[in-house]
Amino acid sequence: MTRCARLLAAAALVLGLGLSASAQEAEDTRTQYPVLLRNSFITINVGALDQPFTQQQLQPGLRAANVEIPRIAVRAMLLGHEFNRFLSAQASYMRPVNYVVYSGVGADPERHHVRVNFGTVTIKARLPLRRTLSAYAEGGLGITSRTGFSTGDALAVTDAHYASATIGGGLEYHVTPSWDVTGGITYLPGKATVNQPHTLFSSGGFRYTMRALPPDRVEANRGGGFIFPRQILQFEYSSGTGYAVNDFVSRKVPVFWGGHAKVDFGLASHYERNVFHTKKIFGLDVGASAGVYKTRQNDERFYTLSVYPLFRFTFLRTSPADVYFAYSLAGPTYISKTLLDDLNTGRHFTFQDFMGVGIFAGRARNVNIGVKINHYSNGNIFTQNAGVKIPLTFSVGYAF
């Protein structure tokens, strides 16, 4: 048995260990948010980013004909939890929609991007001002990651990666117990030793908090009569064809990510467990996966181990089969190699993302067939992030 086959067999065994411990409960409790998710939240903010890049960020002796500084940026709270009405903890990712551009550097007429991305882990304190209005302040750890560029053989803007304090504050308007409208500012200091300017983000957005559902809604969801499989065991094959799909959803309709390192062949196993579902359409799963892949250019083999959240939307239910759309993002992943086809993908820690469609067929909806596209990258939290692009991937599975 080859090393790859042994790895997949071991992964399948590990992923399946939990199956015996997950016997069917007498009562389906998945129509109520799990205890660990209650009072957790996600936040999306959009606003103006002030990062005053100038000629000073260039190496001595270089000047640019023009420096473009796009202002629009997005900050997403990927994981947050409210301990009580006064105190929360949250982790966020922030980046400009378009990166800073230096053009006409010396004799080089090309446009060069300087990619700067930010991560924060903060504690947030809230002060109620009125029944529907609160002020907040946040503080904690900030990570700034900058990828520079070279012109010809000369380094023009250096890479930079450093930790700092971050602070912020603002107002929250409470529309419902679960929905809030937010507005505020976030500040990350610069660092003179790497010529990185400060960053100030002024934004507005919304937050959704997963409050415990009332008993009548829990019962209505439970009694809907629709099947949401508790567990799924899948095996998948990545074909090395269909990159046009990846390009379309990362460039033409930007709802997914591309990548520079391409996979020509892959095998993977997945185990997914449903932890919450609504009456008919939405389901939230948690999963784990192990995969072995081969790159397209240099036939380099690498493997991945991931855990991930999965959002499943069953948009069509018929007598023979149910059809769903699945989307998973930011699944923490170990990747065995960081240099693939001579491209630097960053570090061994990265993220797994995938999106696809599939069906559950059969009277008990035990048969699972799907097709997806995959992606691995670190979201630019490190200075190098070539990204791995995996085209059409076909899966078969058993749901129970």
Rounded Cα gap, residues 82 and 208, in angstroms:
11
Using an 8 Å Cβ cutoff, are 91 and 51 in contact? no
Q: Nearest Cα to 269, choosing from 3, 6, 11?
A: 11
Name the residue type at position 297: Q
Using an 8 Å Cβ cutoff, are 135 and 170 in contact? yes
pLDDT of the residue at 20: 39
pLDDT of the residue at 258: 87
The single residue listed with the structure tokens 């078969």 is 396
Q: Based on the number of CB atoms within 10 Å of its own CB, is 251 exposed (0-12), middle (13-18) or buried (19 or more)?
A: exposed
CA 17 to chain CA centroid, Å, is: 27
Q: Strand 72-82 vs strand 349-361: parallel, antiparallel, or unpaired?
A: unpaired
Rounded Cα gap, residues 118 and 102, in angstroms:
20
User: Could you say which architecture CATH assigns to the domain 3-33+216-399?
Assistant: Beta Barrel (2.40)
pLDDT of the residue at 152: 81
Rounded Cα gap, residues 70 and 102, in angstroms:
12
Rounded Cα gap, residues 103 and 120, in angstroms:
30
Residue 339: C-alpha distances to residues 211, 260, 335, 348 (Å): 43, 12, 10, 10
Tokens of 75: 């900050």
Q: Nearest Cα to 70, choosing from 178, 167, 201?
A: 201
pLDDT of the residue at 356: 97
Using an 8 Å Cβ cutoff, are 204 and 213 in contact? no
DSSP 287: E
Consecutive H or E run containing 53: none
Neighbours of 282 (CB within 10 A): 15
Domain ranges for the chain, please list them.
3-33+216-399, 40-209
Consecutive H or E run containing 26: none
pLDDT of the residue at 28: 80
Q: Strand 231-238 vs strand 367-377: parallel, antiparallel, or unpaired?
A: unpaired
pLDDT of the residue at 391: 95
Fold matches, 3-33+216-399 and 40-209: yes
DSSP string for residues in 228-249:
--SEEEEEEEE-S--HHHHHII
Give me the tens of pLDDT residue by residue for the chain, a chain 400 residues long.
Answer: 454 444 444 444 444 444 433 434 446 889 999 999 999 999 999 999 999 999 999 999 899 999 999 999 999 998 899 999 999 999 999 999 999 999 999 888 999 999 999 999 999 999 999 999 999 999 999 999 999 999 887 899 999 999 999 999 999 999 999 999 999 999 999 999 999 999 999 999 999 999 999 999 999 999 888 999 999 999 999 988 999 999 999 988 888 988 899 999 999 999 999 999 999 999 999 999 999 999 999 999 999 999 999 999 999 999 999 999 999 999 999 999 999 999 999 999 999 999 999 999 999 999 999 999 999 999 888 888 889 999 999 999 999 9
- Burial call 154-182: b when 16+ CB within 10 Å, e when fewer: eebbbbbeeebebbbebebebeeeeebeb
Using an 8 Å Cβ cutoff, are 238 and 223 in contact? no
pLDDT of the residue at 170: 97
CATH code: domain 40-209 is 2.40.160.20
pLDDT of the residue at 213: 94
Full-model pTM: 0.83
Using an 8 Å Cβ cutoff, are 43 and 207 in contact? yes
